[in-house]
Amino acid sequence: MNCKLSLGSQKSMKNAAQNPKYSLIIPIYNEEETIPELYHRISKVMNRLDGLVELILVNDGSQDRSLKLIRELHQSDSRVSYLSLARNFGHQTAVTAGLNFARGQAVIILDADLQDPPELIPEMVDKWRQGYEVVYAQRLKRKQEGWFKRFSAYLFYRLLKRLADVNIPADTGDFCLMDRRVVNVLNAMPENNRYIRGLRAWIGFRQTAVKFERDPRFAGEVKYTFRKSFSLALNSLIAFSRVPLRLSTYLGLLSAAAALLMALLVLYWRLYQQNSPITGLATIMIAIFFLGSVQLVCLGILGEYIGRIYEEVKGRPLYTVAEIGGFKDSTIYHRTPQQSLISDVRQH
């Protein structure tokens, strides 16, 4: 892997002259209402940055007019390139695709709905110049998000902090700046299950936070339904912690201890007491249901891990690309860690 990375960095040094200094990656799923305002605000920030900037819009299988708007932006502004995934692959995968294609020395990820204010980027760039390889944005407050979302996010990040093997900073999202070295490592990581803020924490290097207040979504509906958020939470817990597996061992030990205690009690009552309090069907039913459910929960936990092993061993590419615009042909290939070839892409 070292060899691969050093080759990559040699190549990137050679290309540095024509490569942009900054890459901004924005995943887009049905964001037709926000794209014009997003471009308006982001282009102001792009003009302020010192160096060549590329804006990579990743269309994640939108069903509305997003792709059309993206194409128009690409035609009117040469700094805008885009790729359009062949279907909806989900936020984390869309961002991964953008990372695979980005060429900048500093790569910035942000959401399309302006909940991650682009105006924070210059501050992140300052930190990068000071020598930090990862600058992540940390939410101080979530404005106008429902109590349930705020409460569940609060609980989840604390739980993750307790359980995960790496220290994933609480209240951070994917909004961050990463140095080319970190992006190279991220791109070389082979796993299919990509929880980017976790992988980013795992990689290490010098990391720091910039604080911000999270604005409400600019327009449109939240694209992360409860189901998607829940599945992201579960994925991250399982990808970064083996504690749930250990939980089944603990549950097993606990119920074994309870069974032993019961056996001793029953024996005692049988031998020394006339009227044993443990009689009848109800007790047996409770014991059966209790043990049955403990076993099912443990099986479920095992299943979660095995399912993910299955996903990983299949070794499928992370995504398929239907159309790209603004990338040179040479950058189309080698993209995913599995070296999958994304062929027959419509180039615009």
- Residues near Mg ion, by CB under 5 A: 113, 115, 217
Task: Tell me: does residue 212 bind ligand UDP (CB under 6 A).
Answer: no
Task: Tell me: does residue 88 bind ligand UDP (CB under 6 A).
Answer: yes
| Integer Cα distance of 313 and 66 in angstroms | 34
- CB-CB contact of 164 with 241 (8 Å): yes
| Integer Cα distance of 301 and 238 in angstroms | 9
Candidates 156, 212, 218, 224: give the one binding ligand UDP (CB under 6 A): 224
Of residues 111 and 133, the one with the C-beta less far from ligand UDP: 111
- Tell me the CB-side half-sphere exposure of residue 152, using CA atoms within 13 A: 11
Interface segment toward ligand UDP; rule CB under 6 A; list 109-117, 121-129, 163-171, 318-326:
109-117
- Least distance from C-beta 207 to ligand UDP, angstroms? 21
Q: Where are the alpha helices (DSSP H) in the chain?
A: 2-15, 35-48, 66-76, 91-101, 121-129, 147-163, 180-188, 196-203, 226-240, 243-272, 280-314
104 binds, among ligand UDP, Mg ion, none (CB under 5 to 8 A by kind): none
Task: Tell me: does residue 111 bind ligand UDP (CB under 6 A).
Answer: yes
- Least distance from C-beta 170 to ligand UDP, angstroms? 16
Task: Tell me: does residue 94 bind ligand UDP (CB under 6 A).
Answer: yes
CA proximity to 139, closest of 84, 215, 72: 215
Residue with structure tokens 């061992």? 249
Candidates 112, 114, 120, 121: give the one binding ligand UDP (CB under 6 A): 112
- Least distance from C-beta 287 to ligand UDP, angstroms? 43
Task: Tell me: does residue 223 bind ligand UDP (CB under 6 A).
Answer: yes
Residue with structure tokens 């080319």? 180
Please report which helix (H) or strand (E) contains residue 52, including its range. none
Task: Tell me: does residue 91 bind ligand UDP (CB under 6 A).
Answer: yes
Q: Which two tokens stand for residue 167?
A: 């220290």
| Integer Cα distance of 189 and 262 in angstroms | 50
Count of residues that bind ligand UDP according to CB under 6 A: 17
Task: Tell me: does residue 32 bind ligand UDP (CB under 6 A).
Answer: no
Which residues of the shown chain bind ligand UDP in the complex (CB under 6 A)? 27-29, 31, 60, 88, 90-91, 94, 111-113, 115, 217, 222-224
